[in-house]
Amino acid sequence: MPRANTPSKKSMLLLSHLLLSVDATRQAPERRTNILDSQLTNISGEDFDELAALASSNHVIVRGMENFRSLVERAGNETRAVWAAEAVTAERARIQNALPHLHAVCAAFEQEGHDVMVIKSLDHWPDLGSDLDLYSTATPETVLELMKRRFSASLAPRSWGDRLARKWNFLIPELPEAVEIHVGRLGQAGEQTVLASSVARRARQIRVEGRTFRVPAISDRLMISALQRMYRHFYFRLCDIVDSAVLVESGAVDYDDLERAATAAGIWEGMATYLVIVSDYVNQYRGSGLDLPRSVRATARFGGDKVCFAREFLRVPILPQSAGLYRTQLTALLRRRELESTVRLGLLPWLATAAAVGQKITGSNKGIW
């Protein structure tokens, strides 16, 4: 098939329907048919490649292509069912190679008496992130020495943002994905010491493909997602929408705990805004949003009406919406007299400006962001 171009809004709409509208318990079959079936059974090879590329960059290729295959098989379209099956098979092969490596790294830290947990990467299961994210309370020197000694890992070049966030990317032989390890701090500028100090203590265990991993508590998992989307990247992947919706609908979220923890971290408004954006996006495809507490909706600064699709993702406006959340977080740090964290967070606008200038001049912000 021809190589896909930059994914279009049409592909994002189709993929969103596949992920959020396909469940037969949520929509009448005839409505699903009108929205999806004719588009899927007539999709060209080029458009399918575009759809699959978008699903991959949004970390939903297994879930999206499985739903695609289910629908076209039911319509008797074997050719397109094979396309979807091939995409799923390739992605699962990547995941099956990455998962043992991820477990081996976690086991090595634990064997040597160091706290470590997987953050973000396993939130998307049965999909997996494009790199493998970990958090450890060990010292940077310990992490660097352990990764080199146990895995012959080499260091990827560090950007200014990596240094500020106190994270390192390791390249391990026979593992295409980088292993990104956050050390002792969380947040876009490494400003989150409150969350970092509790995340290891509150960790829980999950089993994936017969292997046990330590991952953040539900509240901490949501806060880490909100930090990434509302305070650093300013865009959502579809996996964020789907993953968070599943958590909310499962009844696993303790909103009192979430509010206490997010308030302590200075990000309660951003956390509430994140959840309302997820709910509003779900509402577009299901006809009803998530059942969120009144306190969440009352605290949110804005909703999904401010989010738009651009360059593969759902973009969150920086000015004035996200800038307001940034100021609130900075004020919370100042009130707690966390001077180092305040300085770190205060550097972000300068870093973002440098990244924007670098992107405009060279077409890349590598080495900066």
Give the pLDDT score at 357: 38
Q: Say how far apart CA 172 and CA 148 lie, in whole Å.
A: 9
Give the pLDDT score at 23: 59
Give the pLDDT score at 146: 98
Beta bridge partners of 154: 171
Other CB atoms within 10 A of residue 99 CB: 20
End-to-end CA distance of the chain: 34
Q: What interhelical angle do 61-74 and 78-111 show, nearest 10?
A: 150
Give the pLDDT score at 233: 83
pTM over 0.85: yes
Residue numbers of the chain with a pLDDT score lower than 50:
1-4, 24-30, 350, 354-365, 367-369
Q: Which of 129, 136, 231, 236 is nearest to 188 (CA)?
A: 231
Q: φ, ψ for residue 171 (rounded to 5)? A: -110, 120
Give the pLDDT score at 352: 55
Strand 235-236 relative to strand 204-208, pairing: unpaired
Question: Can you spell out the DSSP letters for 105-121?
Answer: HHHHHHHTT--EEE-SG
Please report, for residues 142, 194, 296, 307, the alpha-carbon distance to residue 151 in angstroms, rounded to integers and kept in the order given. Answer: 14, 31, 44, 41
Give the pLDDT score at 343: 60
Give the pLDDT score at 24: 38
- Nearby residues of 240 by Cβ (< 8 Å), 6 or more positions away: 225, 229, 278
